[in-house]
Structure 1
Amino acid sequence: MGGHRRRQKRFLDRSSCSSSLNFVTMMLVLCFLLFFWTGICLADGKQPNATHHHSSFTPINHDLYHTSGALLEEIEGLVDRHPDKLSIETISSKNKGYQAKMNVVTYCREKKECDGKSKLRILLSFGQHGRELITSELALRILSILSEEEFLPNTDRRSLNNTLDKLVIKVVPMENINGRRLVESGEFCERRNGRGVDLNRNWSVDWGKKEKDYDPYEENPGTAPFSEPETQVMRKLSMSFEPHIWVNVHSGMEALFMPYDHKNTTPEGAPSQRMRSILEKLNHLHLGDRCLIGSGGGSVGYLAHGTATDYMYDVVRVPMAFTFEIYGDTAASSKDCFKMFNPMDITTFNKVLNDWSAAFFAMFRLGALQVEDGLLHPGGVAAGSSMNKWISIDDYLNGYLMERRNRYGKKMEVLDLGMQEIRTYFRLFMLSSVLLMFMFCSRISKKNTRPIVTAISL
């Protein structure tokens, strides 16, 4: 009887253990499935806590906005109809399997006189962030006015042409074509390029620094400065063109920014005062005094590191480097990205394009006056100085060495070594060369001085 009870107890113990094991096994299976599903989401870039980045309430209004392909076709049509004023080139760059193409339109009213350095040189970039469609529409409007197919209201064309005779403009109407295509496919909140890098965090000035509110989705700076083909193209373009004025055009608010973005101060001295003076005139004359003016870092409420404008001012030495924010709907939900960054109705759409076109052409006029007065010199030194051509070792390796052409014209990529290693080896080489030169010179010096010492001893 007692044995039966013990056997029964053992059976119950085994049953309870078996039930416990089954429960544990079931929980482990559920955990594994949950982990597996999460891993798939992360691999696809669809993070459970980041869905707000991909949702949008308002689709693209195609009655107002061109597709990327249609907009570029419109621009190519302008160039074909006005070859006396406009030319276009497509620049392609590739890095580690990722390729980007960029169209650059050059305007010069009298092409015969465009090769000299006497004219005001202006470099404009639009569409650096894919979701900011209105910026590329502004590029199209400015090019249409330059080609005289559209006209600024209340503007004397003869006076305008007198200004345009004095300048050369390069326009990048859509810097981030791959990111723009993602937006057009439904990713309405996407600001990054085709492989998830924010192009306005990929430049070398203060690159990679992260603030407390850093958002890895929004502000991914890439693996290194100039890791992205788009920034490589823009950097080479700025170095070769040597602009007097640079403007990086964005949307999200209404503002006229000057350096710096990575700190909440503006540069000191007369150049900074001239920049602020021009921005204040544009704001008052054409923008209803509604725009913020000052440094990007001091006005927006957060610091941005590795931006194009800070690089243009600090490294390329562009005398006037600006970031223009041309539109923002502060009442829109942060999830409703198209509405937040782009006008929704035809009235607002046209007002933005008209006001900002007028502001840009006023900037052209004010810049031309600065050149006539001898106040603008690219490179921060007198025009024609060889110092304009000097660049740092890091900039050389990041930009000039990133892509070269071999004798057959095929593009070559740098060996798959980290840029940090390349810089380190180059510096060690330079240091060792200097030391060897020093040792060599010291030895020669000793040989030359020995006879003199001997003569004195005698």
Structure 2
Amino acid sequence: MGSIPLLPILYLLAFLRLLCFVNGANSSDPSLTPIPRHLYHSCDSLLKEVKALVHRHPEKLTAETLREDDKGYAAEIVVVTYNSAKIPKNGNLKFRVLLSFGQHGRELITSEVSLRLLSILTGERTMPGVGLNLLNSFLDNLVIKMVPMENWNGRKLVEAGEFCERRNGRGVDLNRNWSVDWGKKEKDYDPYEENPGTGPFSEPETQIMRKLSQSFEPHVWVNVHSGMEALFMPYDHKNVTPDGLISHLMRSLLEDLNHHHCQDKCLVGSGGGSVGYLAHGTSTDYMHDIVKVPMAFTFEIYGDSAASSKDCVKMFNPVDEASFNKVIGNWCAAFLMLFQTGPGWLDIARQANFTDLGKWVSIDASVVDGRGGSGRGGKLEGLDLGMQELRTYFRLFMLSSVLIMFMFCSRISKSKCRPSMSSIPL
């Protein structure tokens, strides 16, 4: 019997090994926890359920699919809008919230929270201790835009077996691709974990989210992650928090959530000061500094610190049914608390003249439901610009009036007719 050529066999084994790596060889490693398919939806089935919810509740939910592409790489993001009362009750203004889940592919639990939260908002599921009347009493004055799965392409890689993949479909970390302090690398920089891309907003997913945030102008932004338990406010790229009243209000809100839903165990503070490393080019820092969102947060909703760093399914996601249900129930309740109490915190800031008046006008339904034009959108943009012009003209009018009065009175009698400058607002 002739001998079998060794070289072709080695080539074949090498090819099979490469093929297994591309298709997720680590999923067959017995030491790693597989995705509990009985608990977690696939990305396709989750988005299918989201769209089914929208179809069943058109009076409360609308959905749109936003698409961008770059050099042959394309991304689609489904955005769901909750707006139960098209006209605010009691003359109140609409409180706008923008939530993003699933920015990192391996963080499966975050998208499950979004699906459950949508089912609660529509009334298909209930929360213990939260009656429908109470829920509707504060939801009627909210507009919520929710991204259930920001990184669909990266999530597909995880489901194919690359359990530790956090980046998008072409290897870029979407939470390092924003413009605030983009591209800076710390000494422990890991390109697998933190590749920022070729430039700010190089990725279609980030381009979509930037346009969404600029057109919607939320009062609150929450970027939902897993890997630990924490409630972060800006900044991620430096070990400080913003100055002034709004910083104290953000911290107070987070401390309330920590007490009621983390049993005071969550880290609270700036991401850069609390997590143990600085992160550059993050979405939350961009929302705070550029979009000027009054309250911008990052929520870390679960982490198993005892899991191996290679066992990413277990590290970033609960893998037993009891923990799974506990995490989802607890964080849905936390979001409901945010929806209920958030307007009160922001009203304090508004009364203290923290925010620009334009951010507090009610917006028309076409903008809310995503049917408006580009930029800041439709009537909102025109109204904002008009208000800015009116304020500018008013200040110029007052200033010119003061100058004319001063010149007129000084000519007649400096002693009798000089105006009191401190009594005239500028």
Aligned to 1:384: 358
Tell me: CA distance 1:157–1:221, structure 2 relative to 1, closer, same or farther (3 Å): same
1:107 has 2:82 as partner:
yes
Aligned to 1:190: 165
Distance 2:196 2:351 in 1: 32
RMSD: 3.0
Aligned partner of 2:225: which letter?
H
Local SS of the residue matching 1:223: coil
Tell me: CA distance 1:103–1:112, structure 2 relative to 1, closer, same or farther (3 Å): same
1:200 has 2:175 as partner:
yes
Local SS of the residue matching 1:356: helix
Tell me: CA distance 1:308–1:53, structure 2 relative to 1, closer, same or farther (3 Å): farther
Among the aligned pairs, what percent are the same residue?
Answer: 64
Aligned to 1:70: 45
Give 1:109 deviation, angstroms. 1.2
User: Which of 209, 218, 221 does residue 234 from structure 1 map onto?
Assistant: 209
Distance 2:70 2:157 in 1: 19
Aligned to 1:138: 113
User: Which of 305, 319, 323 does residue 330 from structure 1 map onto?
Assistant: 305
1:222 has 2:197 as partner:
yes
- Checking the alignment, whether the CA contact within 8 Å between 1:85 and 1:147 is kept in structure 2 is yes
User: Which of 178, 191, 203 does residue 153 from structure 2 map onto?
Assistant: 178
Aligned to 1:127: 102
Give 1:158 deviation, angstroms. 1.5
- Checking the alignment, whether the CA contact within 8 Å between 1:52 and 1:335 is kept in structure 2 is no
Distance 2:349 2:155 in 1: 40
Aligned residues: 348
Aligned partner of 1:193: which letter?
N
Distance 1:175 1:108 in 2: 21
Map Cα deviations across residues 225-257 of structure 1 (whole Å, 9 max, x no partner).
000000000000000000000000000000000
Map Cα deviations across residues 18-55 of structure 1 (whole Å, 9 max, x no partner).
xxxxxxxxxxxxxxxxxx9xxx99x99979xxx99997
1:346 has 2:321 as partner:
yes
Aligned partner of 1:151: which letter?
T
1:86 has 2:61 as partner:
yes
Distance 1:61 1:166 in 2: 38
1:212 has 2:219 as partner:
no
Local SS of the residue matching 1:363: helix
- Tell me the TM-score normalised to structure 1 length: 0.71
Distance 2:245 2:28 in 1: 45
- Checking the alignment, whether the CA contact within 8 Å between 1:287 and 1:359 is kept in structure 2 is no
Aligned to 1:253: 228
Aligned to 1:289: 264
Local SS of the residue matching 1:168: strand
Local SS of the residue matching 1:231: helix
- Checking the alignment, whether the CA contact within 8 Å between 1:53 and 1:189 is kept in structure 2 is no
Distance 2:133 2:172 in 1: 44
Give 1:105 deviation, angstroms. 0.1
Local SS of the residue matching 1:236: helix
Aligned to 1:243: 218
Give 1:264 deviation, angstroms. 1.0
Deviates more, 1:96-105 or 1:52-61: 52-61
1:169 has 2:144 as partner:
yes
Distance 2:213 2:280 in 1: 19
Query: Stretches of 4+ moved more than 2 A in 1?
Result: 43-47, 51-56, 111-114, 370-378
- Tell me the TM-score normalised to structure 2 length: 0.76
Aligned partner of 1:194: which letter?
G
Give 1:288 deviation, angstroms. 1.2
Aligned to 1:433: none
- Checking the alignment, whether the CA contact within 8 Å between 2:43 and 2:152 is kept in structure 1 is yes
Tell me: CA distance 1:385–1:290, structure 2 relative to 1, closer, same or farther (3 Å): closer
Distance 1:376 1:67 in 2: 45
Distance 2:55 2:167 in 1: 31
Aligned to 2:391: none
Distance 2:235 2:66 in 1: 29
Aligned to 1:442: none
Give 1:370 deviation, angstroms. 2.9
Tell me: CA distance 1:371–1:277, structure 2 relative to 1, closer, same or farther (3 Å): closer
Tell me: CA distance 1:232–1:90, structure 2 relative to 1, closer, same or farther (3 Å): same
Distance 2:351 2:222 in 1: 15
Tell me: CA distance 1:46–1:264, structure 2 relative to 1, closer, same or farther (3 Å): farther
Distance 2:338 2:230 in 1: 15
Map Cα deviations across residues 61-95 of structure 1 (whole Å, 9 max, x no partner).
01000011110111111101100000000000011
Tell me: CA distance 1:190–1:159, structure 2 relative to 1, closer, same or farther (3 Å): same
Structure 2: state its 5+ residue gaps.
Answer: 1-10, 361-373, 376-426
- Checking the alignment, whether the CA contact within 8 Å between 1:319 and 1:377 is kept in structure 2 is no
Distance 2:167 2:155 in 1: 9
Aligned to 1:298: 273
Local SS of the residue matching 2:34: coil
Distance 1:224 1:314 in 2: 18
